[in-house]
């Protein structure tokens, strides 16, 4: 399997819908679940599926992603495994940046060419799911497909956000429409199975996960569709009548982390008693950078549905329905609810804390007697004492120097310094 298939992970565009989390980092480098980064999800799915050769394609703010991958994915010197970053680059025959998903892969073909493989797996770098690609490849070969698309049943409310397709009884895709308008949906109903029908999930959506026969992919991008820039808008729809394109229906948990609201929901969903995405799975480990950090230290805190990463020092009075990232520090008398605190990249020493206090700057972390609700606190923030941040639908969308409000969620920007007594 590992030699049969190679993976290409698309880093995505500028990630404007995830701003301000993408102000200084690429989308795949955004921290998730307190200790991972988004790119760890597709890479871990590949490793768990015995695919050990991966390219990650990026062009925006890729420095922190490069650093994370370099520091994380080390394989044995005796194996052919690798995770390589391919950043958009100017070459004598191409002076443009990536123009879309297909163009990004086209510009990277010369780096893929030296490596043998029968199939190329194309993945997105901003989705949360656990999937065995071995099963998808078996389905691909069993159906004699040229191209396979992983699909997931969705509801009428979600369907206009996706590429929707129809397939016959042999799972061959017969038609495809990108982001259909609501009034067109009745024509696109599929038989997704009794269980999915009961949940109202009667539309088959593309997950943006593709398996291509290698020869066909190279031929499409170099010759037949050499001007096409996007898989979803051009390559896939135009291949349906000409090649055997099949649907691989996936019924597990999957979410596309395209905006602040979906990112917030996905993280807080991990605090449920039985979360849809299982971090506690022997066979589907999520790999990330191994940090040599002490265990979390908690004192006098009532904890209710909380994920707390290592290296944290928590003296809060209450933490409820929250994810607290690595090296989080929360002062006494503070309540944090329905929030994702990303934590910090370093510990502040006692002399540094004293120096900050003398200069009237809050120490790193969240101070005493604060109340924070419906918020995302990015890394390395300094939030003073008696700060009150209460997100919700009563707030209008704004972009301020220290924070952003989107859909009622307050996002404190990376490294922001919030003074004592601040109220929002």
Predicted confidence (pLDDT) per residue in 264-275, tens digit: 999 999 999 999
Alpha carbon distances (Å) from 262 to 38, 168, 319: 13, 32, 22
User: Backbone phi, then psi, for 270, in 5-degree steps?
Assistant: -70, -15
Torsion sign across C-alpha atoms 181, 182, 188, 190: positive
Residues of the chain falling short of pLDDT 70: 1-3, 13-14, 60, 88-98
| Side-chain half-sphere CA neighbours of 225 within 13 A | 22
Position 91 scores a pLDDT of: 55
Query: The whole model's pTM is what?
Result: 0.93
Position 1 scores a pLDDT of: 46
Torsion sign across C-alpha atoms 142, 145, 150, 151: negative
Predicted confidence (pLDDT) per residue in 80-135, tens digit: 898 888 876 555 555 565 677 888 888 888 889 999 999 999 998 889 999 999 99
* Element at 409 (helix H, strand E): strand 409-412
Under 8 Å between Cβ of 174 and 167: yes
Calpha distance 28→12 (Å, rounded)? 8
SS3 (DSSP) at 251: coil
Burial 53-72, CB ≥16 within 10 A → b, else e:
bbbbbbbbbbebbeebbeeb
User: Backbone phi, then psi, for 136, in 5-degree steps?
Assistant: -65, -40
Position 13 scores a pLDDT of: 67
What is the residue extent of each domain of the chain?
5-269, 297-418
Q: What is the CATH number of domain 297-418?
A: 2.160.10.10
Q: In CATH terms, are 5-269 and 297-418 the same topology?
A: no
Q: Give every CB contact of residue 233 below 8 A, 6+ residues apart in sequence.
A: 100, 178
SS3 (DSSP) at 398: strand
Calpha distance 2→5 (Å, rounded)? 6
Under 8 Å between Cβ of 308 and 292: no
Q: What is the CATH number of domain 5-269?
A: 3.90.550.10
Position 314 scores a pLDDT of: 98
385 C-beta neighbours (distance < 10 Å), count: 18
Say if residue 255 is exposed, middle or buried (CB neighbours under 10 Å; 0-12, 13-18, 19+). middle
Q: Give every CB contact of residue 141 below 8 A, 6+ residues apart in sequence.
A: none
Question: What's the chain's Rg over C-alpha atoms?
Answer: 23
């Amino acid at each position: 399997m590992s030699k049969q298939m190679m993976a290409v992970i698309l880093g995505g565009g500028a990630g404007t819908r995830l701003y301000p989390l993408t102000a200084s980092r690429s989308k795949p480098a955004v921290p998730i679940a307190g200790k991972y980064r988004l790119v760890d999800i597709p890479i871990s799915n590949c490793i768990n599926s015995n695919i050990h050769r991966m390219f990650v394609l990026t062009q925006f703010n890729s420095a922190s992603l490069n650093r994370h991958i370099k520091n994380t994915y080390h394989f044995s010197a005796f194996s052919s495994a690798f995770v390589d970053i391919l950043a958009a680059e100017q070459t004598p025959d191409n002076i443009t940046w990536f123009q879309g998903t297909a163009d990004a892969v086209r510009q990277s073909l010369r780096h893929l060419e030296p490596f043998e493989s029968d199939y190329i797996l194309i993945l997105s770098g901003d989705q949360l799911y656990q999937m065995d690609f071995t099963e998808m490849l078996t389905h691909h070969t069993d159906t004699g497909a040229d191209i396979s698309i992983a699909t997931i049943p969705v509801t009428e409310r979600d369907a206009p956000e996706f590429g929707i397709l129809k397939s016959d009884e042999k799972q061959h895709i017969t038609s495809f429409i990108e982001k259909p308008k609501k009034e067109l949906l009745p024509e696109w109903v599929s038989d997704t199975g009794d269980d999915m029908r009961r949940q109202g999930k009667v539309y088959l959506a593309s997950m943006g996960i593709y398996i291509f026969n290698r020869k066909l992919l190279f031929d499409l991008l170099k010759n037949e569709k050499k001007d096409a820039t996007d898989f979803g808008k051009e390559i896939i729809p135009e291949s349906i009548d000409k090649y055997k394109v099949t649907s691989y229906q996936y019924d597990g948990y999957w979410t596309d982390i395209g905006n602040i609201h979906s990112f917030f929901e996905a993280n807080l969903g991990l605090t449920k008693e039985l979360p849809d995405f299982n971090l506690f799975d022997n066979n589907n480990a999520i790999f990330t950078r191994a940090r040599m950090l002490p265990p979390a230290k908690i004192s006098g805190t009532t904890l209710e549905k909380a994920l707390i990463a290592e290296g944290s020092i928590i003296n809060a009075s209450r933490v409820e329905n929250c994810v607290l990232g690595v090296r989080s520090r929360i002062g006494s008398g503070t309540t944090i609810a329905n929030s994702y605190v990303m934590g910090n990249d370093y510990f502040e020493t006692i002399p540094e804390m004293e120096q900050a206090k003398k200069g009237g700057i809050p120490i790193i972390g969240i101070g005493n007697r604060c109340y924070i609700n419906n918020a995302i606190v990015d890394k390395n923030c300094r939030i003073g004492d008696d700060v009150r941040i209460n997100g919700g639908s009563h707030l209008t969308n704004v972009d301020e120097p220290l924070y952003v409000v989107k859909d009622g969620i307050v996002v404190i920007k990376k490294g922001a310094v919030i003074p004592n007594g601040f109220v929002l």
